[in-house]
Amino acid sequence: MTTGLDLQQSFVQFLEGVGLAPGAARALWMPLPMVAVLTFATIWALVATWLERKISAAVQQRIGPEYAGPLGMLIPIADVVKLLVKENVRPGRADRWLFTMGPVVVVMSVLLAYLIVPFGQNLVITDLGVGIFLWIAISSIAPIGLLMAGYGSNNKYSLLGGLRAAAQSISYEVPLALAVLAVAMMSNSLSTVDIVEQQTGYGILSWNVWRQPVGFVIFWIAALAECERLPFDLPEAEEELVAGYQTEYSAVNFMLFYAASYLNLVLSCLLVAVLYLGGWESPIPIETLASWLNLSLENPLVQVIAGMIGITMTLIKAYFMLFLAILLRWTVPRVRIDQLLDLGWKFLLPVGLANLLLTAALKLAFPAAFGG
């Protein structure tokens, strides 16, 4: 197994070559991936909003934005600028701290989870041993932020929305964790990098989605519920609660919520790609491609190209899932709160448990195929 591209090592070596102390060189490296991921995550979320507009327009036989830049691609920028220059209104009797901190907590928790999304062997901010578990842990902070926002707004719609968000997140965290657990059991690791590596070897055939079809569906449903996307967008159900917990928000604070929801969606799609669709692996393994072209993987140029293919692959898979999510949102009606909880507790949870049990049994029976 090749280690592939290691930007950190090259960067540190380069700085040391210029004459910096090893510690200083490493310290200089540290902020770079964080800034890069922050920037790229924001861009991906903006692209997601544009896609949402364009795809929903196509579904509804409209054209969608078309004048702001080519194909209306500048419309997310226009959105951001508009929200930045708007007056930030806080209702008179809202709780100042809860109201202000709510969106911040939500965005922070989502952004933090980008830490563990790998785009290549070494293209990940931190390859934590608890990787995917960290995401599950962090993602349960977001509903606290929503609850803060809902409770602090001094608005009954907001309060109901916040409570719905809390109830929904708690119910869907469990099947989500169970689905992830089955994958982790097969990979013998919680690290996202290990999970992807375990899906290598046979290209598209080695992806987890074939070995975990049930888990894949559970994960996808639960992830949609976690992202509060239709058919599970109860906390912000427009026709019932006006805008749920965001009712009283405007300008930058609203933008934070808006950004958080799309960041979260992109993150969930990325994680589907990582957990079930082979992460950065291309459908035909890079090694095979390289051998067809008689290229050595040690070649630096090949490594750079392989790294870029890896990033592209991850994004293609993630955006395919995003496309499905958007299509779903504009096709189906919304479920009711009791149906939502029934689905979570009475259907996904038992199915998730059965799936976990089945995975364990298969792992014992066929250790070769199920990562024994």
Partner 1 sequence: MTMIETRTEPMVINFGPHHPSMHGVLRLMVTLDGENVIDCEPVLGYLHRSMEKIAENRTVVQYLPYVTRWDYLATMFTEAITVNAPEKLADIPVPKRASYIRVIMLELSRIASHLLWLGPFLADIGAQTPFFYIFREREMIYDLFEAATGMRMMHNYFRVGGVAADLPYGWVDKCEDFCRYFLPKVDEYERLITDNPIFRKRVQGVGVLSREDAINWGMSGPMLRASGVKWDLRKVDHYECYDDFDWEVQWATDGDCFARYMVRLGEMRESAKIILQALKGLPGGPYENLEAKRMAEGPKSEWNGFDYQFVSKKPSPTFKIPKGEHYVRVEAPKGELGVYIIGDDSPFPWRWKIRPPGFINLQVLPQLVRGMKVADIMAILGSIDIIMGEVDR
Cα 7 to chain centroid, rounded? 23
What token pair was written down for 298? 């040690």
Contact 68, 237 (CB under 8 A): no
Give the nearest distance from C-beta 325 to partner 1 in angstroms.
Answer: 15
Please, which residue, 55 or 180, has the CB nearer to partner 1?
55
Q: How far is the CB of 160 from partner 1 (least distance, A)?
A: 7
Contact string (CB under 8 A) for partner 1, positions 123-162, x = contact: ---------------------------------xx--x--
d(CA 161, CA 342): 18
Footprint of partner 1 on 242-301 (CB under 8 A): 242
Residues 193-232 contacting partner 1, CB under 8 A: 230-231
Task: Rule CB under 8 A: choose which of 20, 74, 309, 335 binds partner 1.
Answer: 335
Q: How is residue 232 written in tokens?
A: 């599970």
Residues 6 or more apart whose Cβ sits within 8 Å of residue 57: 63, 64, 65
Q: Of 106-114, 213-221, 308-316, 324-332, which segment contacts partner 1 by CB under 8 A?
A: 324-332
The pair of three-digit structure tokens given for residue 152, joined into one six-digit string? 């602090």
Q: Measured from the CB atom, is 10 or 339 closer to partner 1?
A: 339
Query: Does 348 help bind partner 1 (rule: CB under 8 A)?
Result: no
Of 237, 260, 302, 318, the one binding partner 1 (CB under 8 A) is 237
Distance of alpha carbon 3 from alpha carbon 178, whole angstroms: 31
Q: Which one-letter DSSP state was computed for residue 189?
A: -
Residue 93 touches partner 1, criterion: CB under 8 A: no
165 lies in the site for partner 1, by CB under 8 A: no
Binds partner 1 (CB under 8 A): choice among 339, 354, 365, 372: 339
Q: Residues 124, 275, 324, CA angle at the centre, nearest 5°?
A: 105
Q: Report if residue 82 touches partner 1, rule: CB under 8 A.
A: no
Q: How distant, in Å, are the alpha carbons of 47, 95, 135, 229, 339 from that of 145?
A: 25, 13, 16, 17, 24
Does position 323 bind partner 1 by CB under 8 A? Answer: no
**C-alpha pair distances (Å), 40 with each of 33, 36, 114:** 10, 6, 10
> Footprint of partner 1 on this chain (CB under 8 A)?
56, 59-62, 156-157, 160, 230-231, 233-234, 237-242, 330-339
